[in-house]
């Protein structure tokens, strides 16, 4: 449990481990899946595959698409700024060009 807005001097003492009463009596060396039958294991496997293929991967792909668009837009903007800096028609001298770089 997460204790929010509680100070050290609070009148209520919180347990160090609220889940201590729920700890299993199995030995640490014993496999936890030994309590599941083969149908349960297959159902868990199917659930994980379904969750991964229908939700996790599409969500990650969408996030990558958005990031690629942001990077592409930034790159185009920066590319155009550099191109405009180098291809000016002599309206500004070199000192003004240096001021341009100091902004970034």
Which band of pLDDT confidence, cut at 50, 70 and 90, is reported for residue 62?
A: very high
Tell me the average pLDDT across 7-16.
62
Q: What is the pLDDT of residue 4?
A: 58
Domain around 82: 20-87+96-102
Q: In this structure, is residue 5 part of a structural domain?
A: no
pLDDT score, position 36: 82
Please state the pTM of the whole predicted model.
0.43
Residue 17 has pLDDT above 90, yes or no: no
Q: Is residue 45 part of a domain?
A: yes
Predicted local confidence at residue 81, as pLDDT: 74
Whether residue 40 has pLDDT greater than 70: yes
54 belongs to a structural domain: yes
Q: Is residue 30 part of a domain?
A: yes
Token pair of 57, please?
């991967």
Domain count, the chain: 1
pLDDT surpassing 90 at residue 44: yes
């Amino acid at each position: 449990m997460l204790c929010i807005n509680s100070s050290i001097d609070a009148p209520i003492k919180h347990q160090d481990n609220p889940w201590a009463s729920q700890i299993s009596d199995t030995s640490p060396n014993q496999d936890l899946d030994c309590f599941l039958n083969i149908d349960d294991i297959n159902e868990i496997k199917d659930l994980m595959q379904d969750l991964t293929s229908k939700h996790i991967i599409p969500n990650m792909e969408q996030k990558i698409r958005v990031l690629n668009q942001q990077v592409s837009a930034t790159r185009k903007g920066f590319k155009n700024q550099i191109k405009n800096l180098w291809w000016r028609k002599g309206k500004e001298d070199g000192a003004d060009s240096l001021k341009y770089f100091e902004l970034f």
